[in-house]
Structure 1
Amino acid sequence: MDHSKMNMKGTNEPQKTTDVQAVKSQVLTGKVINLTAMESNQEIAPGKTLPVWTFNNSVPGPEIRVKQGDTIKINLRNQLSEPVTIHWHGVPVPNAMDGIPGVTQNAVQSGQSYTYEFKADVPGTYWYHSHQDSVNQLDRGLYGSFVVEGKNDEKVDRDFTLMLDEWMSSGKGMSGMAMSGMDMSGMDHSGMNMHSGDSSSKESNTNSMPMAHDMSMYDLFTINGKSGSLDQLPVKQGDKVRIRLINAGYLSHQIHLHGHEFKVIATDGQPVTNPGILKDSVLSIAPGERYDMEFIADNPGQWLIEDHSNNKAASGMRAMIVYNGAPASSDKSNASEKLSAVDLAQYGEAGKKAFSLNQKYSLEYTMNLNTEMKDGKMAYTINNKTFPDTDALTVKKGDTVKVRLVNNSKTDDHPMHLHGHFFQILSKNGVPFKGSAIIKDTLNVKPGEEYEVAFEANNPGDWMFHCHDLHHASAGMVTELKYTDYKSDFVADPNAGNKPE
């Protein structure tokens, strides 16, 4: 789809630069950004156009690029039939700007507007998405990338952003399918294939019987809203290239870069200390996570970036690095080849770290994550409870907090996302992390795994801590991080239809 010819009402004019490539998307810069939530149609795969919900008439929505230290205003206009919000995933915004309906704001009603304003202090790769009825609205396409360019960022010649997602070719669960009144928390997941691993796809969000809610219905995997189209990433020999990978879907993807050595220079936007050179490894990227790769374009030709997940739909999740003047590609997919995943536990160099396993913490919490039958329905629990009955993590400003995340589910991954804060990973399955400090806001905990993470309570507010497989969140796997020395002046409107998950 050529977005340059669309009517982009209410948007900024795109600013083209030599080193930033908006692949099939618009780039918005400056200190005032306008986003309009609206219905549209988009060709997701060749010959397959689906109804979508969008920001500024495309999926993904525009990439927003701002400078570190800028105070920015984002004006949201809602032209949809349902209320929406915007959550700034990974960005440590003030609590009032977090975009959580019923917690930090009322959902923005159809025909109304809302302004988000905050200072972009921390550079990195982030994204934005609706957090109103998010299991459905994110599924329809309400998301985009958000990049804070750092004052001390290493210069690159090319800078690409690739957003990963999954869709249903049937169009079920998309706009016009009467999803809006659905209460996922009451849904019976027992008949569903809810695995978050390689061999599954997101469940349908229709109002049919539970057995129809099968993750394998998601049969189109996309990069930047396109499946199988081999979007081209143009490079010149000798270029230093940065690729920002963002998983906006509900499944993990195993991303492989052909023909080049690379480094992982950032996790969830936060830098890795002296990253080592990698080759023939996949980056396993779970829902909500971001990884920044960097490589030198030193192997002329045309080379795939592709998903090695064990799912036939993965063949659609491809892009092509194309050197200037390169002949037509002879590079073939090797997606069936089993490659090892990058192990962050020993990656990079152990520089200065904010936290250690053995230090004394103000508070320690354990979160046991599980999949259980409750009242005849499948529920996703934290310490045997479902939201809103889960026990909040309570802190006060300045506390140091250690959290133990334990996945007791038999088959379900749980990518846990903490709003408003970054945490450092201390250990996995009792083994300390020995390389660079790995700083994240979203961490995938696979069945049987246990992680210890630590953070400082440095951003007062009432914050969500939830699974970013939003089917799990909507079925209970949500808790809150609450500051006892913070009092919000927000008042929820009972008529706003607030649906925080």
Structure 2
Amino acid sequence: MIRMNRRNVLKAGLGIAAYGTGLGAAIVSSRTANAANEIELEAVNAKALLDGQHLTDGVMTYRSLGEPDALMPPTLRVKRGEPFSAKLMNRLNEPTTIHWHGLRIENRMDGVPFLTQPYVYTGDSFDYRFAAPDAGTFWYHPHCNTLTQMGRGMTGMLIVEDPKDPQFDAEIALNLRDWRLGAKGEFIEQFKPRDAARNGTFGTVRGANWQVQPAYEAPSGGIVRLRLVASDVTRIYQLRLDGADADVIAIDGQPVPNRFRLETAVIGPGQRLDLAMRMPDVEGSVVSLLDTRPSTAKTVATFQAIGQSLKHRLEELPPLSANPWQEPDLKNAEQIPLILSATAEGGAKESFCGSLGYTFWAINRVPWPGDSVDPTAPLAELKLGKSYIFNLENLTPHIHPIHLHGMNFQVVASNMRQVPPLITDTYLAMPDEKVQLSLVADNPGDWVLHCHIIEHQKSGMTSYVRVT
């Protein structure tokens, strides 16, 4: 769950959804897929200007065959419920896959080596085919050697559109992420062991859409749909807007039934936030999106008002369409412990999909051994159609964004704060927090559950549930 200040959390009610096209100085590449138009993505090595000054070698990215000159992974757009197909061709010198983060799709399309599909080796391809049941803002990334592949660029946005959603005056999608770069723009070590055992290793260059402080234009007095994805491997953002009002309209792909005014929002790796932002009436006025965590505010992106004012009002914006959701039977739900803890340092198994060489973290006292043909037993075996409550307990002094593949859960209660019944796929667990997360096991298969701070994931804080 994305954390808001207390007053806003009590107004929230449910979740978040999204859509967006970059305007002005930093236009975002996007591709639309339908049944007759298969998206073809190449996983490739590239060079790119990431810090605004130096050309960085060793970048990893997804490149659309229809846009060979684009560097940032394309923002893919599909319609809810319509067939989607993407052929992944691996041009890297190591295996890879694609995981479609937040989508409740068939298990064999989930992109996790050994659990759901084989590696896509160098020179091989894999066809992903599904129909997304939920509209909203999602994203895609590898689930193989994730710290390196994601850390070097392989994170793209996926927007599932609903034709019934209201019309906005502009739409801007922002892919928020850091880069671990040296003084000359070269990649440096992706992690430090002592940091991996704490909050994680932070990047040195903060950016959005592969730029440092990108600038966009939007109509004066217009309502902009601002879609934000935190695709960084480590950073937790604390976001606010200067110069404009905005309402939170969706969280993690789920519309909120009662919109509320944004003051500050804390968003962790893997999470998404949709805002309806009203641009200023005066042409030339600039709105800034700021990250105020940990202390000094940094500008993420700016938005400049252009043209005569449209004089549109946030109060006039109709609500987003709800996504399908089956209410869990809380009275008869089975309780499942989900304990997050540190563990004694030990060596992790080597694998084609990469290992950090350490195990610092565990779920239910068991550290994930690595991506291997002999994984641990499932955290729990769930019966299809039955209700469950995960009793998540964070015994660590660090924040953990816990992500469940293939299914959504609903927040029931927390020992630290009053929480609305948000529907989400990623919960930001605070230190010493105990929270109840309910769901109906409605999607058969083996579904990974892990911390989305990737160093934590790769050093033990990973498991999976089996639905049969």
TM-score of the two chains, using structure 1 as the length reference: 0.75
1:406 pairs with 2:393: yes
Out of 262, 270, 283, the position equivalent to 2:265 is 283
* Identity within the alignment, %: 29
Out of 215, 220, 229, the position equivalent to 1:246 is 229
Q: Secondary structure at the match of 2:457?
A: helix
Query: Within 5 A, what are the aligned runs for 1:487-498?
Result: none
1:374 Cα offset (Å): 3.9
- Which letter maps to 2:382? V
1:394 Cα offset (Å): 1.0
Query: Within 5 A, what are the aligned runs for 1:424-443?
Result: 424-429=410-415, 432-434=418-420, 437-443=421-427
In structure 2, relative to structure 1, the CA distance for the partners of 1:253 and 1:106 (3 Å cut) is same
Query: Within 5 A, what are the aligned runs for 1:236-385?
Result: 236-249=219-232, 250-278=234-262, 281-300=263-282, 301-310=285-294, 315=298, 317-324=299-306, 355=327, 359-375=330-346, 379-385=360-366
In structure 2, relative to structure 1, the CA distance for the partners of 1:58 and 1:446 (3 Å cut) is farther
The question of whether the paired residues in 2 share the 8 Å contact of 1:25 and 1:61 is answered with: no
Give the whole-Å Cα distance in 2 for the aligned partners of 1:407 and 1:173.
Answer: 37
Q: CA offsets per residue over residues 31-78 of structure 1, 9 Å max, x none?
A: 211111111111111213222101116553000011112101101111
In structure 2, relative to structure 1, the CA distance for the partners of 1:298 and 1:171 (3 Å cut) is closer
- Residue number in structure 1 paired with 2:320: none
Q: Whose relative contact order is higher, 1 or 2, with alpha carbons under 8 Å and at least 6 apart?
A: 2
The question of whether the paired residues in 1 share the 8 Å contact of 2:176 and 2:228 is answered with: yes
- Residue number in structure 2 paired with 1:28: 31
Query: Within 5 A, what are the aligned runs for 1:96-135?
Result: 96-135=108-147
Q: Secondary structure at the match of 2:330?
A: coil
Query: Within 5 A, what are the aligned runs for 1:439-454?
Result: 439-454=423-438
- Residue number in structure 2 paired with 1:395: 382
Query: Within 5 A, what are the aligned runs for 1:228-243?
Result: 230-243=213-226
Out of 178, 191, 204, the position equivalent to 1:219 is 204
Give the whole-Å Cα distance in 2 for the aligned partners of 1:258 and 1:299.
Answer: 15
- Which letter maps to 1:433? V
1:319 Cα offset (Å): 0.8
1:247 Cα offset (Å): 0.5
Query: Within 5 A, what are the aligned runs for 1:153-172?
Result: 153-170=165-182
Q: Secondary structure at the match of 1:360?
A: helix
Q: Secondary structure at the match of 2:455?
A: helix
Give the whole-Å Cα distance in 2 for the aligned partners of 1:371 and 1:172.
Answer: 36
Give the whole-Å Cα distance in 1 for the aligned partners of 2:184 and 2:413.
Answer: 41
The question of whether the paired residues in 2 share the 8 Å contact of 1:361 and 1:402 is answered with: no
Give the whole-Å Cα distance in 1 for the aligned partners of 2:335 and 2:185.
Answer: 40
In structure 2, relative to structure 1, the CA distance for the partners of 1:93 and 1:359 (3 Å cut) is closer
In structure 2, relative to structure 1, the CA distance for the partners of 1:178 and 1:354 (3 Å cut) is closer
Give the whole-Å Cα distance in 2 for the aligned partners of 1:473 and 1:302.
Answer: 39
Give the whole-Å Cα distance in 2 for the aligned partners of 1:77 and 1:422.
Answer: 29
Q: CA offsets per residue over residues 391-424 of structure 1, 9 Å max, x none?
A: 52211110111111111112x2111000001111
Q: Secondary structure at the match of 2:149?
A: helix
Q: Secondary structure at the match of 1:262?
A: strand
In structure 2, relative to structure 1, the CA distance for the partners of 1:59 and 1:134 (3 Å cut) is farther
- Which letter maps to 1:253? Y
- Which letter maps to 1:392? L
In structure 2, relative to structure 1, the CA distance for the partners of 1:309 and 1:28 (3 Å cut) is same
Give the whole-Å Cα distance in 2 for the aligned partners of 1:367 and 1:173.
Answer: 41
In structure 2, relative to structure 1, the CA distance for the partners of 1:136 and 1:104 (3 Å cut) is same
In structure 2, relative to structure 1, the CA distance for the partners of 1:353 and 1:104 (3 Å cut) is closer
Q: CA offsets per residue over residues 435-473 of structure 1, 9 Å max, x none?
A: xx3111011112111211111111111110111011111
In structure 2, relative to structure 1, the CA distance for the partners of 1:146 and 1:404 (3 Å cut) is same
Q: Secondary structure at the match of 2:428?
A: strand
Out of 478, 484, 494, the position equivalent to 2:462 is 478
The question of whether the paired residues in 1 share the 8 Å contact of 2:416 and 2:433 is answered with: no
Structure 1 unaligned residues grouped into runs of 5+: 1-17, 197-201, 204-214, 327-351, 486-501
Give the whole-Å Cα distance in 2 for the aligned partners of 1:112 and 1:226.
Answer: 31
Structure 2 unaligned residues grouped into runs of 5+: 1-18, 64-68, 309-323, 348-357, 369-374
The question of whether the paired residues in 1 share the 8 Å contact of 2:327 and 2:440 is answered with: no
Q: CA offsets per residue over residues 66-116 of structure 1, 9 Å max, x none?
A: 111210110111111111100000011100100111111111111111110
Q: Secondary structure at the match of 2:360?
A: strand
Please tell me the root mean square deviation across aligned C-alpha atoms, in Å: 2.8
Give the whole-Å Cα distance in 2 for the aligned partners of 1:105 and 1:120.
Answer: 19
Give the whole-Å Cα distance in 2 for the aligned partners of 1:174 and 1:474.
Answer: 24
- Which letter maps to 2:388? V
The question of whether the paired residues in 2 share the 8 Å contact of 1:42 and 1:58 is answered with: no
1:94 pairs with 2:79: no
Give the whole-Å Cα distance in 2 for the aligned partners of 1:62 and 1:33.
Answer: 10
- Residue number in structure 2 paired with 1:70: 82
1:19 Cα offset (Å): 7.4
Q: Secondary structure at the match of 2:138?
A: strand
The question of whether the paired residues in 1 share the 8 Å contact of 2:404 and 2:425 is answered with: yes
The question of whether the paired residues in 2 share the 8 Å contact of 1:369 and 1:407 is answered with: yes
- Residue number in structure 2 paired with 1:144: 156
- Residue number in structure 2 paired with 1:14: none
1:53 pairs with 2:38: no
TM-score of the two chains, using structure 2 as the length reference: 0.80
The question of whether the paired residues in 2 share the 8 Å contact of 1:136 and 1:173 is answered with: no
- Residue number in structure 2 paired with 1:211: none
The question of whether the paired residues in 2 share the 8 Å contact of 1:59 and 1:142 is answered with: no
In structure 2, relative to structure 1, the CA distance for the partners of 1:273 and 1:391 (3 Å cut) is same
Count of matched residue pairs: 406
In structure 2, relative to structure 1, the CA distance for the partners of 1:101 and 1:172 (3 Å cut) is farther
Give the whole-Å Cα distance in 2 for the aligned partners of 1:98 and 1:172.
Answer: 37
